[in-house]
Each structure stands twice: as structure tokens, then as C-alpha cells.
């Protein structure tokens, strides 16, 4: 197991290095001068040159890359030209908002897609199955930006049920930031209403992500469940009078869990890419919005940092799933042994 872990970790580091190289050089081929932006529209050439030197942008590309890699090795992602702060400090501030959105969306997605898949698989081609398929296909078929805006239109503009954007109602005082996870901070502050307000703000962005992912997860899980239900041992169990609930939980689910887990892992990767768009639409102050705003002014360091963090997230999730497989499936345990 240790060798397996070491191998996977080595691969993870290699992938991160490749991403660092690729994003660094891609960001440098864009023909724009971030120092000119930073200096302001009416600054003199001398001022622009001074800023270029301050941020090391006047150095040859190889030198800039060497410095960047050296910094990465000690957790230094460089300095943001836009916020004038170390990127690591910005990431520490914005990452919890993104993680909170991702974790809540992921949990909702896994739960909802599971129940929908079970409901659909119990009566394949029935009307429940048809409705679920239609609903999930609609969610996936609609572009994420349009879906987000449509949800804003209905739940904010028309119904006034949920806030338009942000993590917390604008006019109210948010609980003090302790962990950066607003739901947790609100709970720590002992204010149930603050937890509720944070949940309200979270609802539409999370719903946008969940609805966009639901079709794939539901359909894959449904297919796996139907295939499992069709196996001879299930027919035997039914013949023996085992209850439908017991068949589902004791037999079918245990056998399809690996397949469902594989799909879910892939979906988490998609969530990481969707989150940028969703954060922009809902003004969600996470790393996606941070990178988007930075990219607009050619502030390279945050963009590269986002790519690195997303890749690292994907690598870690995959690693966790690899570790989970043997625990949930004895067949994998035997192969590994």
C-alpha cells in the first residue's frame, strides 16, 4: 500500500509540475503588459518601467520561470498585481468560500442523484423514470450561465425568496470570520439565523452546479442499478421473499458502489471547472471569481495558482477514491493483495 501511495503521489507531483510549466508559458504568450495596467492609464513610461522592474517582469522568461518554480517549492505563488497581496494570502482568503460551495454542492449532488437513480431504476421506462430523465437532461442541456441567470430571475427577481449574489445578505453584518467557512463561522457565533442566511445565499449557486451535473450522475447510477437488478442472484433473492428495501441496501448498492464512485470522482472534476462560471454569475467570492478577475487584467500569478490548486484538488480526490475502492469492494482488495 505504501508503494502504491508513493507512486500515486509522485504522479501527482509530476502532473502539478506539468501544469505549472504549461500555464506559466501560456500566460506569457499573451501580448499584453500587466505593468501598464497597474501603473494606470496616464502614468509615464518611466513609472511603467519602474513597476515592471518591481515585479520582475523585465527579466528574461527563463529567469521569471526559475523564480516562480523556486517560490512554488516553498509555497509562494508570487504577488498579485491586482490586489497587491501575496497570492497565497488571497488563496487562503478565497479558497474556503469555494470549498464550502463545492462541498455543499457535492453532498447535495450525491444524495439527490442517488435517490433519483434508485427511483428511476426501480421501475425502468415507467413514468417516474421518464420524468427523472427529462428533468435531469434539461438541467444538463441548459448552459450553466443561462441556468444561473434563470434561477436568479425566478428566485430573486420574481419571488424575492433568495439573494441575487454573494455569500451573505449585503445589508446584514456577517458573523466574524474564524474558519472562512461561513456556515461553520455562523454556527460558531451561535447564530442560527446567520446559518440560515448563509444557506440562503448558498442555495442558488449550489443548485446551478447540482442541476448541471445531475443528468450524468443519475443516468450512470441508474444504468448500473438496472444492470445489477437484472442479475440472477437478485431474482433468487426476490424468489426467496427478500424485501425490496433489503435487496436494494444489502445487495444492489454494495455491488454498484464502485461504479457510482468512479462516476462521482469524474463529476467532482467537472465541478471544479463549473465553479468559476458559477462564482462569476453569483458574485461568489471564491478562487474562481478571484482568478477570473485577475485574468481580465493579465495578472498571471493568481491564474496559474488556480490551475495548480484545481489540479491538486483533482489529484487528491482521485487518490482518496483509489484508497476507498479496496475498502468498499472486496474484489479490489483481493486484486491489490
Note the residues at the interface with another protein (CB under 8 A). Answer: 30-34, 36-47, 81-84, 90, 93-94, 97, 149, 152-153, 155-157, 159-172, 174, 196-197, 200, 280-281, 283, 285-286, 289-290, 292-293, 296-298
Distance CA 290, CA 75 (A): 19
Residue with cell 447535495: 108
Q: How far is the CB of 191 from another protein (least distance, A)?
A: 15
Nearer to another protein, 167 or 219 (CB): 167
Nearer to another protein, 228 or 299 (CB): 299
Nearer to another protein, 295 or 325 (CB): 295
Contact between 209 and 274 under an 8 Å Cβ cutoff? The reply is yes
Query: Distances from the Cα of 23 to the Cαs of 69, 158, 305, 337, in angstroms?
Result: 12, 42, 9, 39
Contact between 151 and 203 under an 8 Å Cβ cutoff? The reply is no
Q: How far is the CB of 235 from another protein (least distance, A)?
A: 32
Q: How far is the CB of 283 from another protein (least distance, A)?
A: 6
Q: How far is the CB of 312 from another protein (least distance, A)?
A: 21
Nearer to another protein, 38 or 147 (CB): 38
Distance CA 105, CA 183 (A): 14
Q: How far is the CB of 274 from another protein (least distance, A)?
A: 17
Nearer to another protein, 34 or 313 (CB): 34
- Which of 208-236 are b and which e, b meaning 16 or more Cβ less than 10 Å from the residue's Cβ? bbbbbbbbbbbbbbbbbbbebbeeeebee
The alpha-carbon radius of gyration of the chain (Å, integer) is 24
Q: How far is the CB of 306 from another protein (least distance, A)?
A: 14
Alpha carbon 132 to chain centroid, angstroms: 24
Nearer to another protein, 44 or 240 (CB): 44
Amino acid at each position: 500500500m505504501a508503494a502504491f501511495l508513493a507512486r500515486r503521489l509522485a504522479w501527482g507531483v509530476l502532473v502539478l509540475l506539468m501544469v505549472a510549466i504549461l500555464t506559466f508559458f501560456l500566460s506569457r504568450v499573451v501580448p499584453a503588459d500587466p505593468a501598464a495596467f497597474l501603473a494606470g492609464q496616464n502614468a509615464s513610461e518611466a513609472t511603467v518601467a519602474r513597476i515592471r522592474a518591481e515585479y520582475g517582469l523585465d527579466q528574461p522568461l527563463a529567469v521569471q520561470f526559475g523564480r516562480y518554480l523556486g517560490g512554488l517549492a516553498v509555497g509562494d505563488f508570487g504577488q498579485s498585481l491586482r490586489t497587491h497581496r501575496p497570492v497565497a494570502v488571497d488563496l487562503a482568503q478565497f479558497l474556503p468560500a469555494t470549498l464550502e460551495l463545492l462541498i455543499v454542492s457535492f453532498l447535495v449532488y450525491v444524495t439527490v442523484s442517488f435517490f433519483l437513480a434508485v427511483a428511476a431504476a426501480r421501475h425502468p421506462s415507467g413514468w417516474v423514470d421518464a420524468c427523472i430523465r427529462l428533468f435531469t437532461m434539461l438541467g444538463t442541456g441548459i448552459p450553466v450561465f443561462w441556468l444561473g441567470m434563470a434561477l436568479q430571475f425566478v428566485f430573486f427577481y420574481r419571488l424575492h425568496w433568495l439573494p441575487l449574489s454573494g455569500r451573505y445578505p449585503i445589508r446584514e453584518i456577517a458573523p466574524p470570520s474564524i474558519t472562512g467557512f461561513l456556515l461553520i463561522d455562523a454556527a460558531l457565533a451561535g447564530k442560527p439565523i446567520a446559518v440560515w442566511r448563509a444557506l440562503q445565499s448558498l442555495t442558488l449557486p449550489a443548485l446551478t452546479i447540482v442541476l448541471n451535473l445531475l443528468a450524468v450522475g443519475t443516468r450512470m447510477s441508474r444504468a448500473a442499478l438496472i444492470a445489477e437488478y437484472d442479475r440472477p442472484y437478485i431474482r433468487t433473492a426476490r424468489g426467496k421473499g427478500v424485501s425490496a428495501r433489503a435487496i436494494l441496501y444489502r445487495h444492489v448498492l454494495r455491488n454498484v458502489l464502485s461504479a457510482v464512485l468512479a462516476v462521482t470522482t469524474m463529476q467532482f472534476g467537472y465541478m471544479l471547472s463549473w465553479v468559476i462560471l458559477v462564482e462569476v454569475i453569483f458574485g461568489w467570492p471564491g478562487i474562481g471569481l478571484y482568478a477570473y478577475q485577475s485574468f481580465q487584467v493579465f495578472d498571471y500569478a493568481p491564474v496559474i495558482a488556480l490551475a495548480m490548486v484545481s489540479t491538486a484538488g483533482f489529484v487528491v480526490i482521485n487518490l482518496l477514491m483509489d484508497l476507498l475502492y479496496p475498502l468498499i469492494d472486496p474484489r479490489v482488495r483481493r486484486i491489490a493483495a
